[in-house]
Structure 1
Amino acid sequence: MDDKPQKILIYRIGSLGDTIVALPVFNKVREVFPDADVTLLTNRPIVSKAPALESVLGHHYYYDRVINYPSGTRNLRVLYDVWKEIRAQKIDIAVNLATTRILKDLRTTKLGVLRDNLFFRSAGIKKLVGFPTLREDYELTADHDTGDFEWEAKRLARRLLPLGAIDLQSDHAWDLHFGVEEIASANDALSGCDPGKPVIAASVGTKRQSNDWEQDNWTTFFKRLKLLHPGWQLVMVGSHEEAERSAKCIEAWGGAGINLCGQTSPRISGAVLSRARIFVGHDSGPMHLAAATGVPIVAIYSARNFPRQWYPRDNGNKIIYHKTDCAGCGLEMCIVQKKKCILSITVDEVIGAVAETLNNTRAKYGY
């Protein structure tokens, strides 16, 4: 773009996984506008274990200030205050990275997008980038390359084509730009590890009951994996609420293990994960974080969403997904079907996926 504005607003809501999926576009914005003054408009997470977007992006590269608002608010006074704060910044361009909310029908969905469009224009912003324009921006559609629903990272990159093409396979697109102090903090967090022995990283937390593979499976998995890799070290990451579950996994591991749940910020956790040989976990924020750093993933998915839309960056990953007849339910809690999708995944299957991923890694990198 020839006319490079000096003041940009980036609109993105969500927490850890949502932020990582949008990372290539955040990097593209900074690449195109390296000297711009950037305001980040985002929501405050509803649940405590969901980290705020700015805690994932850090405070030294992607933006200069944050405007927060409560998730899903319809309070006119709150919205007016947000509008007034945006208007006061005299923004030149708004970059919309919000995932289009699929409402009851196409017309209603378009009206929601139009409302957002008018909100930003009334705040004095003349140039808007990334707002939905095509039918596939408003509705989930099949990707011609895969036959599955379009990957969210690809969908965002397509919407931001006015800024230039984004290579989603490049390391640069997923660079979290860790600072020197963050790397030093990660080194401190791993000080109890033997640097001569490989690390397997894992996270057993999830915000949704429907995505939980459950403790008995995890305990059996770690007991058996330790027998196969007796010299390896286990590092668990996640929120404070997941510390107790992770402690049980380390106990099942029965060997060298570090429980960092609630001990490190998302970015320090990311720097820690970058040292791992492999990551194993649920469909979760830490899984996306590990994938962004280039670590091969073994991910255990429920079928609450259809496959691929919310997959992580591909580093030779192994995604374990059983497509049941109730796939795409979108349930937060699964009671009637008793989580038959994710609980049909066996420990043997996950053990095999780890072995396959490590073999592929050795073939590719020689270790």
Structure 2
Amino acid sequence: MTRVPHTIIVFRTCGLGDFILSIPAFVMLRRRFPAARIVLVTMSSTNAGVASRVAAYAGGATVAPWIELVPPGTIDDVVMIPSLRSLSALVHARRTLRGLRPGLIVQMMDIGIPWRRRWKKMAFALALIGPVRQVGWRLRGSIERGDVPAIDPRLGHHVHGPLHFMRELFGPEAYDVNEISPVANPGEEARRWASQWIADHTRGHPLIAIAPGAIYPHKDWPIDRFAAVTRAILHDVPDAHIVVSGTRGDAAKADQLVAIDPARVISTCGTASILQSAALFEQCTLVVGNDGGAMHLADAMGTKVVSIVPGLEFPISIEPWRNIDRAVRHRVACAPCYSFTSCPQGHNRCMQDLPVDAVLEQVRRALIESR
């Protein structure tokens, strides 16, 4: 029987989408250890581009604002390490975490993470906290660049990575796949904001969201295709309003969509926080957009999602959990490439050649289901 720890420290560093896929792991950890003190340790991205993108989120320039989406009572405290280059920050984190005297360290890692990165994460935790038992690192498979043909799709959806610690603690049947439910909680203040926004802008008409941004250019579906989808939705649903969601960096794309019909297309890019966007998605009939945090956020709010997914990873691995069947992909010979920052071939055909009709088919199907 697993010894019950007084304090559990969880290491999880990731962006919005991956963090949402971690929520079931946090919920199940709390369920298994209801009396334990659970402390999340995370840090700002060391990638300058990603850090800049996070800074573009309204309401969360210096921290990971998505942490607040975890259901209340799931996490007791958060220790944010602002930079690995800051010795004072590392010393402060070390003093704080050792003072908690944790009995268990949970490494919430992603499916197929290379072993060298696992060792680095474990060594980092050891240096910060000391010789405390660590779980979650014995994931099956290791995705190495240049070894793509050896990747086994049976590794599963990324939601299983953060949950792997439970298999280490409680055996292979530690959880039922039917128990997995990424549920985000934006809070009552954000929900009040969303209700007021809807009252001010849509006057009770159906609301559909479009999220045309992406953290990297090779995950972008061309904006003219989003414009075609926008026009089709406005035509098919004459009383619908569309909200364009994203960061300040997506404002130029949003302007192109708003110009189609300024009376029915409104942008919240750079003005709505992640919590406010989540609350807005909760009241949308449908959300359409590039693979990324917004799609997982809307999925976690229980909304229908049509996600446009590039060929970076194998099918049914990173699609929004409740909306896997609504995801749209375009098959190309070079997929999956597992190149997370740029297209190795330079042509980005998995997105550039993805037709509007394929997306509209899923959009129209979802809208019919919502009637």
TM-score (norm 2): 0.83
Which shows bigger deviation, 91-100 or 278-287?
91-100
Q: Which amino acid aligns with 1:261?
A: C
Instruction: Tell me which residue corresponds to 2:226.
Output: 218
Residue 155 of structure 1 aligns with which residue?
161
Q: 1:90 to 1:335 in 2, by over 3 A?
A: closer
CA distance in 2, matches of 1:8, 1:259: 41
Distance 1:301 1:316 in 2: 11
Distance in 2, Cα, partners of 1:22 & 1:61: 16
Aligned positions of 1:49-88 closer than 5 A? 49-50=53-54, 54-58=64-68, 60-70=72-82, 73=84, 79-88=90-99
Identify the residue that residue 91 of structure 1 maps to in structure 2: 102
Kindly state the Cα deviation for residue 110 of structure 1 after the two structures are TM-superposed. 5.8
Structure 2 unpaired stretches of 5+: 145-149
The equivalent of 1:227 in structure 2 is 235
Change (3 A) 1:90 1:125: farther
Instruction: Tell me the distance in 2 between the aligned counterparts of 1:204 and 1:168.
Output: 31
Question: TM-score normalised to the size of structure 1?
Answer: 0.83
Taking the aligned partners of 1:241 and 1:134, their CA distance within structure 2 comes to 36
Contact 1:16 1:56 in 2 (8 A): yes
Go from structure 1 to structure 2 and tell me whether the alpha carbon gap of 1:125 and 1:165 turns closer, same or farther (over 3 Å shift).
Answer: same
Say how many residue pairs are matched: 350
Structure 1 position 312, deviation (Å)? 1.2
8 A contact 1:183–1:271 mirrored in 2: yes
- Return closer, same or farther for 1:254/1:74 CA change in 2, 3 Å cut-off: closer
1:17 aligned partner? 17
C-alpha RMSD over aligned residues: 2.9
CA distance in structure 1 between the partners assigned to 2:226 and 2:210 by the alignment: 10
Instruction: Report the AA paired with residue 343 of structure 1.
Output: Q
Q: Which runs of 4+ in 1 moved over 6 A?
A: 74-77, 137-140
Contact 2:12 / 2:109 at 8 angstroms: preserved in 1? Answer: yes
Aligned to 2:346: 337
Q: Secondary structure of 2:98's match?
A: helix
Q: For 1:38-187, what aligned pairs fall within 5 Å after superposition?
A: 38-45=38-45, 46-50=50-54, 54-58=64-68, 60-70=72-82, 73=84, 79-99=90-110, 102-103=113-114, 108=116, 111-112=119-120, 114-116=122-124, 118-119=126-127, 123-124=129-130, 126-130=132-136, 132-136=137-141, 142-144=152-154, 149-161=155-167, 162=169, 165-170=174-179, 173-187=181-195
Q: Tell me the amino acid that sits aligned with residue 34 of structure 1.
A: P
Tell me whether 320-329 or 200-209 shows the greater mean CA deviation. 320-329
Amino acid across the alignment from 2:350: C
Match of 2:197 in 1: 189
Instruction: Identify the residue that residue 289 of structure 1 maps to in structure 2.
Output: 297
1:34 and 1:278 map into 2 onto residues whose CA distance is: 35
Give 2:80's aligned amino acid. Answer: N
Aligned partner letter, 1:136? G
What is the CA deviation profile of residues 40-99 of structure 1, one whole-angstrom value per residue up to 9, with x for unaligned ones?
Answer: 11111442332677521318533333222356x367665444333321222222221133
What is the percentage of aligned positions where both structures have the same residue? 24
1:354 shift after superposition: 0.6
2:215 alignment partner in structure 1: 207
